[in-house]
Amino acid sequence: MMSRLKLVGFAGSYNRPSKTFALVDHIATIASERYGFEKRVHDLTDVGPTLGQAQRQGDLDAAALAVLKEVVDADVLVIGSPTYKGSYPGMFKHFIDLIDPEQLRAKPILISATGGGDRHALMVEHQLRPLFGFFMAHTLPTAIYASDRDFVDYKVNSDALKQRIGFAIDEIAAFFPAQKLAAAE
């Protein structure tokens, strides 16, 4: 038996509870159930206090490095970012800045974001997609944006959002032909 394919979710928020974490975990859970992935989800609080001072991966403590390693070793990534001033937060970018360009090359990445309202819904297209374009990763065609009113008690609670999440999860299939999934069982 081979080890299962790994899906890693990463939420670029320190908040607990967090709408971004809730969104990433929701997506990650459905995708993992559908494709049989082993699921892990982390946030910036898991990365911890050494991130701010780190100029390279070697400056991170063991906990932070473990999260970064999981992200770069994932077979599929679900990235979520809160929207800060129309973009991703600086600390989220700083975490991504520590990743070497070749570490995300050709990786399938589902990109998602949360924001207070709908005005910055295109931040997934104008901020997150080009960021992962730099890494030559495969961002999935459907990106997910959720605003405050898509959540109740930090749970995804919108049929339109759930439908869009379903479309994005369908798109993961292109990267994992049936025999690859079967081989990992």
Ligand X SMILES: Cc1cc2nc3c(=O)[nH]c(=O)nc-3n(C[C@H](O)[C@H](O)[C@H](O)COP(=O)(O)O)c2cc1C
Chain contacts with ligand X (rule: CB under 6 A): 13, 15, 18-21, 82-86, 114-117, 119-120
- Judged by beta carbon, residue 56 or residue 85, the one nearer ligand X is 85
Between 16 and 56, CB nearer to ligand X = 16
Q: How far is the CB of 43 from ligand X (least distance, A)?
A: 8
Tell me the pairing of strands 38-43 and 108-115: unpaired
Cβ at position 184, least distance to ligand X in Å: 31
Q: Considering the complex, what minimum distance in angstroms separates the CB of residue 75 from ligand X? A: 25
Please say which residue, 120 or 138, places its beta carbon nearer to ligand X: 120
Please give the residue whose beta carbon sits closest to ligand X in the complex.
115
